[in-house]
Chain A
Amino acid sequence: MKHIRTLNTRDYRKSVKQGGCGECQTSCQSACKTSCTVGNQSCETLTSKR
């Protein structure tokens, strides 16, 4: 496409079907301890399949 470029993203809709396995990290426990950020986390299911 000439006018727009799409980045690779995970389509959230598909993840609804797989539905939370719950193995991912607790948001606040990571580095910050004062904020909730999930966008920066990785999905345990996807990454362990790699």
Chain B
Amino acid sequence: MVFKRYIPVVHRYKNGGYNIVLDVESGAVHVADDLAYELIPLMEGYIKKDSKPEERLPDEVLETILADPSVRELADRFSPDAVRESLEELKSLVDSDALFSEDTYRAYVGSLANRPTVVKALCLHVAHDCNLSCKYCFASEGEYKGKRELMSLEVGKKALDFLIENSGSRRNLEVDFFGGEPLMNWQVVKELVEYGRRREKEADKNFRFTLTTNGVLLNDEILEFANREMSNIVCSIDGRKEVHDAMRPFRGGQGSYDRVLPGFKKVAASRNQNNYYVRGTYTHFNTDFSRDVIHLMDEGFEQISVEPVVAPPEMDYAIKEEDVPGLLEQYDLLADEIIKRRKEGHFVNFFHFMIDLEQGPCVAKRLSGCGSGCEYLAVTPTGDLYPCHQFVGNTDFLMGNVFEGIKRTDLRDSFKACNVYTKESCDTCFAKFYCSGGCAANSYNFSGDINGTYDIGCQLQRKRVECAIRIKAQTSE
């Protein structure tokens, strides 16, 4: 017999006064009272594995469970009738495959690694140049370990052609204008959008353009164009002025907060508080980042994403293991704050707490990760292809270029094979179907291997999933 590792199938946790029970494999989420919450782990040993849902907990076993000393203890604390009633309810969930359900996807994993993939999205580094010199920039001040460069119109057009040609029958194609700072090459961005609009008609595609900007050069003309053409604008701002200015200074050292804030407010207002994000990065230096998120809320932003920095562990601003307990609390505080504001009638959306339980992605998507290196590629100003923006400049990961296509198919295949079953820590993780295996760049930075684990990132990720589900539980009452 093949040795089977124990894989928890039910994840229980308490958060914000709620007892949440997540049935990992089916995705079912339950809110339990204290009795049911305590009863569930006591049942686990009696569940028949590898069988049909309705056979996992036969009626006669219920009596055995009720006679279990720990269960009798529960009966003393609550009442025998209540325990029986609760057990019967839980049995009905087991019967309907919403509790202690089993993994039925493992069989697909092989086909997942060999699945035919198409390129769906490009991150166009239209400018390897920047007017800020953010301390944590993985682009090292917009230079990406190379020299300052702007993408030519020709390379950009080739990139869009490459995307169309390699996208198979997929219609929706995503293109993010990224940098460095893309507004430093705005004319090319505009012409590429026009080119894309022309080509999408001929090729029966639909481009979804997005823009990620630091806001320094934002003006009304740019905003008007972006509002017409871009399905999302990501505005980089870290939160409180002192936090932002410390990490996002101009080259001369002065802070950029006052310069960018008014423009970002215009972005939010002119897009009716939709289809944009203010996007901040938190680091070891602002481990009280919930205050930065709250600051952004107070400034009137409704679409907010503030995320842990992706950094090699030796950097002074990298998140340290000892920061983690405090950071986890920050997420709880934030969840409480968001609920409070919603109750007061103020909608705010925190990106990492968004979760779509009812219409979320299919399993294939949930298992197969971020798509870097196969469905998603980054293009440098000269047209080189990398697995994603985080790998740009690391020539070990140079995959080819937009003129000749992908040359390192081995790299593509190794990224494609990366999924929640190939990473040992993901296999046993309750968050796997929400996280889909984490960030390959993070894993690489931390362990030297794209299949490695970045444990700090995982701890934060699990907490965000827990908070997100709790918010759903709370708002569904």
Chain A residues with a Cβ under 8 A of chain B? 1-13, 15-16, 18-47
Which residues from chain B contact A34 at a C-beta distance below 8 Å? Answer: 281, 307-310, 390, 439, 441-442
Q: Are B438 and A36 in contact (CB under 8 A)?
A: yes
A1 closest partner in B (C-beta): B89
From residue 410 to 449 of chain B, which have CB atoms closer than 8 A to chain A?
Answer: 433-442
Q: Are B210 and A3 in contact (CB under 8 A)?
A: no
B357 closest partner in A (C-beta): A9
Which residues from chain A contact B97 at a C-beta distance below 8 Å? Answer: 13
Q: Are B307 and A4 in contact (CB under 8 A)?
A: no
Q: Are A28 and B370 in contact (CB under 8 A)?
A: yes
In the docked arrangement, what's the CA distance between A34 and B441, Å?
8
Q: Are A32 and B371 in contact (CB under 8 A)?
A: no
Q: List 17 A-B contacts (CB under 8 A).
A: A4-B21, A4-B30, A6-B98, A13-B363, A15-B361, A20-B365, A23-B172, A31-B277, A35-B352, A36-B439, A37-B351, A38-B433, A39-B366, A39-B465, A39-B468, A42-B360, A42-B361
Asked whether A36 and B89 contact (CB < 8 A) given A18-B362, A28-B388, A29-B123, the answer is no
| B32-40, B57-65, B337-345, B398-406 - interface stretch | B32-40
Give the number of residue pairs across the A-B interface with Cβ within 8 Å: 221
Q: Are B120 and A22 in contact (CB under 8 A)?
A: yes
Q: Does B170 interact with chain A (Cβ within 8 Å)?
A: yes
Q: Does B217 interact with chain A (Cβ within 8 Å)?
A: no
Q: Are B93 and A4 in contact (CB under 8 A)?
A: yes
A44 closest partner in B (C-beta): B172
Known: A15-B363, A39-B354, A39-B434. 11 other contacts (CB 8 A): A9-B26, A22-B118, A28-B370, A29-B174, A31-B232, A36-B438, A38-B365, A39-B366, A40-B352, A42-B356, A43-B362
From residue 153 to 184 of chain B, which have CB atoms closer than 8 A to chain A?
Answer: 170-172, 174, 176, 178
A46 closest partner in B (C-beta): B359
In the docked arrangement, what's the CA distance between A18 and B361, Å?
11
Q: Are B85 and A2 in contact (CB under 8 A)?
A: yes
Q: Does B141 interact with chain A (Cβ within 8 Å)?
A: no
Hey, what's the 0/1 contact readout for B450-472 against A, CB within 8 Å counting as 1? Answer: 00000001000100010010001
Which residues from chain A contact B303 at a C-beta distance below 8 Å? Answer: 31
Q: Are A26 and B121 in contact (CB under 8 A)?
A: yes
Q: Are B104 and A29 in contact (CB under 8 A)?
A: no
- Min C-beta distance of A17 to chain B, whole Å: 9
Which residues from chain A contact B472 at a C-beta distance below 8 Å? Answer: 7
Q: Does B75 interact with chain A (Cβ within 8 Å)?
A: no
Q: Does B246 interact with chain A (Cβ within 8 Å)?
A: no
Asked whether A38 and B366 contact (CB < 8 A) given A4-B33, A30-B232, the answer is yes
A2 closest partner in B (C-beta): B85
Q: Does B348 interact with chain A (Cβ within 8 Å)?
A: no
